[in-house]
Amino acid sequence: MFRAISNNLAFFRQFRQRFETTGAIAPSSRFLAKSMTRFLAARGSDPVRVLEIGPGTGPVTQRVIPLLKDGDRFDIVELNESFVEILNTRFQQDKAWQKAAPLSEVHQLPIQEFQPDQKYDFVISGLPLNNFPADLVESIADTYFKLLKPDGVLSYFEYMYVRPVRKVVTRGDEKVRITRIDDIMQGHCDRHRIQRDNVWVNIPPAWVQHLAGGRETRQDDGVES
């Protein structure tokens, strides 16, 4: 309980200081974390490679860790040094996390600069794309697919109706920025989406988009959580 309160306070401090890269007022709910790891939870018995991007204080990481098995690889990319410190401390001190420590590594750098030796079966991203310049969003989205295996799954979330509302109420450069971000991400969803979850129990409510790595497909839409 104390750790959860401490992590929430740390998250809120970073939200106030660095809204453009933190993007939310509170960590992801357990319902959002469950949705983000839906396809990882349905994995087979073979070893897998998992990449989490922008984990913050680790609410989704907490959900990933019990799903890992011997032979897996779990890489975490986080730019914020305060969150990196929290994550490394948890791998050192939290008993549940300690078991996954030999399989895991935290990397502090922009995701576009991350250069692993192999691609990933699962890419899970908590980056607040709506806060970024459109060119950066395009670069990050391209990086997602460069890091993902052709048969892998990308899962990321976005807060419900944020872009549609902003497209209506904003003007000038901000309207251009948010419209282009919407075009970029909707284009990827149109080509690769296999499922979208509606997560209402989160602050704010969110959509979780699940995209296939190499094939163009579209299936389930609007699964409730």
In the chain, pLDDT over 70 holds for what percent of residues? 84
Task: State the chain's mean pLDDT as an integer.
Answer: 88
pLDDT band at 17 (very low <50, low <70, confident <90, very high): very low
Residue by residue, DSSP assigns the chain as -HHHHHHHHHHHHHHHH-HHHH--SSPPPHHHHHHHTHHHHT--SS--EEEEE--TTSHHHHHHGGG--TT-EEEEE---HHHHHHHHHHHHH-HHHHHHGGGEEEE-S-GGG---SS-EEEEEE---GGGS-HHHHHHHHHHHHHHEEEEEEEEEEEETTHHHHHHHH--HHHHHHHHHHHHHHHHHHHHHEEEEEEE-SSSS-EEEEEEESSS-------EE-
Mean pLDDT to the nearest integer, 135-157 = 97
pTM confidence score: 0.86
Q: What is the pLDDT of residue 27?
A: 77
Q: Where are the domains of the chain?
A: 2-159
Best CATH choice for the domain 2-159 from the list 3.20.19.10, 3.40.190.10, 3.40.50.150, 1.10.3720.10: 3.40.50.150
Question: Which of 94-98, 181-185, 216-220 shows the lowest per-residue confidence on average (mean pLDDT)?
Answer: 216-220
pLDDT band at 24 (very low <50, low <70, confident <90, very high): low
pLDDT band at 16 (very low <50, low <70, confident <90, very high): very low
